[in-house]
Amino acid sequence: MKWQGRRRSSNVDDRRGQRVSGGVRGPAMGGLVMALLTRGSAKTKLMIVVAALVAMFVFKISPQSLMTLVTGGSTQPTVTQVAPAPDDEMRAYLATMKADNEDVWTRLFRGLGKEYRPAKLVIYSDKTVMPGGLADARMGPFYMPANETVYIDPNFFNELSQRFGAPGDFAQAYVVAHEIGHHVQNLLGYTDHVHGQRGRVSKEEYNRLSVRLELQADFLAGVFAHNAQQQFEFLETGDIQEAMRCAEAIGDDAIQRKSSGRVMPDSFTHGTSEQRRRWFMKGFENGRLADGDAEDLGDSDRAQAVEGAVDIADESVGLDVGNRAKVALRPQGAENIRGRLAARSDGVGRIVFVGDVLAGAGDEGPADLDGFGHRADEGDGG
């Protein structure tokens, strides 16, 4: 892939060289205590008060330590800059890919009569601070809608190459474009409306909507690649094959087969390798947002798919969930987009590879993270 010599985005924060210690260790316990204090019976509340008094006066635990536990963390993370962030090829590459996405989506949004607001990109190693807690490399790349930021530890690309057999700079570009695709969904209102269904529909139905977002992010990555090729002529022989190998490697069926030796369709979170390849190529073939249609779903897809269409041409999305009530969503002015995405049900509550929709306690409450890999149970923080 030809990427050198183009503009580099200024919306990049390279935090490599930082060491993060401490951090939020007790969100589950803190959430439990707060829930009992607010919703528990009078007897339960009395028992909590008595336990707190015993902790302070018998075990000499300070009130500040108890409050830290209740609010969900043991300590605030400490960030130390132990070395300067390397001014290396990876930084230049990611900044260039970020700029390419900004240029392409700015032009496409202008065609919709809208203004594109660039996301931020944080490059880090191992751990970094984010609103509500810590980003961990084990989560894989992800996008946080609350602060419109993509988080990437470049070591993920080494794992993608060595563990999953998907090397190449365009495979990495596919990862970046997928995460920026989540940002596009966020700006168009998709993300808020889908996440807003949590608690209003069943977990199975909510997961189906989330999977649609993931497959659409693959589609949007293909739309980016098509338009970036027209604008920059950056593709070389074999680049698209690199993206296809990447999609093959991170499909739910491929990951499950590699990790456990068997495939469990009911726990799919992102779609199969075939689905992810197909949706990327669907976006890449013509580069039109209007091509997000799933009429070519195969029989195996239909067995698990939500029957209905994601139709935003008239600023509304109707998702017909089986025989149950239709969920009406209204993205913010996505007049010229159509999407009909396959969806799979999921046994919510496990991380198969890397984090996808994780919950963290930010300033505004739970924060959803949309990522390249797989889901952790909402509410656990992964």
Q: State the pLDDT confidence band at 356, using cuts at 50, 70 and 90.
A: very low
Q: Average pLDDT over the chain, rounded to whole?
A: 73
Identity at 320, one-letter amino acid code: D
Beta-carbon contacts of residue 37 (< 8 Å; ≥ 6 apart) = 45, 48, 70
Q: pLDDT: is 265 or 294 the higher one?
A: 265
Q: What percent of the chain has pLDDT over 90?
A: 42
Per residue in 120-131, pLDDT (tens digit) is 999 999 999 999
pLDDT at site 251: 83
Q: Is the pLDDT of residue 330 over 70?
A: no
The region of weakest confidence among 8-17, 174-183, 363-372 is 363-372
Give the C-alpha separation, 307 to 327, whole Å: 12
Q: Is the pLDDT of residue 173 over 50?
A: yes
Per residue in 28-60, pLDDT (tens digit) is 444 455 555 555 566 665 666 667 666 656 555
Are the CB atoms for 334 and 315 separated by under 8 Å?
Answer: yes
The model's pTM is: 0.69
Q: State the pLDDT confidence band at 63, using cuts at 50, 70 and 90.
A: low
Give the C-alpha separation, 102 to 113, whole Å: 16
β-bridge partners, 12 = 121
Q: pLDDT: is 105 or 139 the higher one?
A: 105
